Structure 1
Amino acid sequence: MKSIAARAIQASASALFLAFFGVSALAQAPSASGYPTKPIRLVVPFTPGGSTDVLARAIGQELTKAWGQSVVVENLPGAGGAIGADKVAKAAPDGYTLLMGHIGTLAVNPSLYPRLPYNPVKDFAPVAWVARVPNVLVVHPSVPARNVKELVALAKSRPGQLNYGSGGNGSAANLATEFLKLQTGTSLVHIPYRGTAPAVTDLMAGQIQLMFTGLPALVAPLKGGQLRALAVSSPQRLE
């Protein structure tokens, strides 16, 4: 059996690749015709303000218009998304409790935690592939690096002095950055947060220096010049 460390390294490599495939919407299979006939709960297993939350709220608004029934977004964060995912897994299988799935809840968690309270394959029925969401490597504008090569050189000249944030231990952003460290031989200090939004807030304030996270959570600070993007995990550049 692989050690936790080995599985974490493997998962971090997958996180960079799978983040390109983005966020999927998963749900319990509907059982009645004429669906939906009452309001629907869309569970986001992370804190408000992150990429998954931003997408879920946009989708919820459009589904509300299309279905004529309210789609209520409910944030149930904790344990890397496991709390929210487990809540949906144990809900009535009637299609009225949906999960905004994510690489963390569906792929990373099973690789890191052998005793999850839910089975990502058996407990959910896929409904739609919503979006491809690449991870973006961003830094605070005060960081004197304009590209990844310069960032790596800076990190090597200041080992253990640059802090990076993530939405929590074991998150896709955490594993992506750890993979970057392994590939480049750099020493960066991990500062885990309870969600992406507070990490981005501290990054904009200069409390941390860099982070990987999904693009939807970064659009406003990038356009406003509060953050600088250095790289993206997709094969193509983002315009």
Structure 2
Amino acid sequence: MTSVIPFTGRATDYRVILSEYLREFGDELKAEYNKLTSTEKRACREEILALRKERSTMKACSNLKAVQTEVRSAFGKLKMDFASACARTGCEGFLIAVRSSIEDYHEPQSIYTKGAAKFVKGVLKMEPGILTLKFESSAVSSAGTENQVPGAPAKFNKTQAVSSIRGALQQKLNEILRRNNVRIIRKGNQKEIKMNYEAKIVERYGVTLVGFPCKLTNPANLGCIDLEKVINTLGAGTCYWTKLSKSELKARCK
């Protein structure tokens, strides 16, 4: 779809308030949308959903402070609902939610009814707060070593993904250089893969990367969805280094 908002005359860093934008241009947007074919409408919806997923995933992966705020807000409401439900129904129980990785910083969230607290003290011989901390310690230390609960989404570790991609790219590059009797890139020189790609890799070694599924950049600059795409293509063998012919290399160097 083509944007109907007039950007001419806008100041640098001007921000549009969505509600105001929709009030002013809602009819034009509907008219533009109705002009699309069913296939184009489907593609538009899929693109929006993918963008929403990427933004929410990137937030959870790279903005730890935002995750802390989200945890406090979400579980603050959940604990209030839990306490209210127990009070209305006379049920006893407890709710514990803790971080699952040492890279996360949010604090444990827990609530115990009076009967549940009495059970923990009498049967487990510990304070409820100690049980919460023990569970957090177990969850963090065993993260990634036990099977996921069926249906539970796997936690995406961006740091591990970036490290895995860098290692795979270097390994595959060294393999093709070794086959062509070229000095391999040592671990300490990984920056050559990430910075100044054309001069450091293409022109120097005469090889190029084929099948990279997104913009070629430092993996640390990619969002979680793009990182998953790169990992999948590397694993499937559709992303690989290839030797350039003399004519191809000459064209790239121009």
Tell me which interval the TM-score lies in, with the shorter structure as reference length: under 0.3
More helix by share: 2
Greater relative contact order (Cα 8 A, min sep 6): structure 1 or 2? 1
TM-score norm. by structure 2 comes to 0.27
Structure of higher CA gyration radius: 2
TM-score norm. by structure 1 comes to 0.28
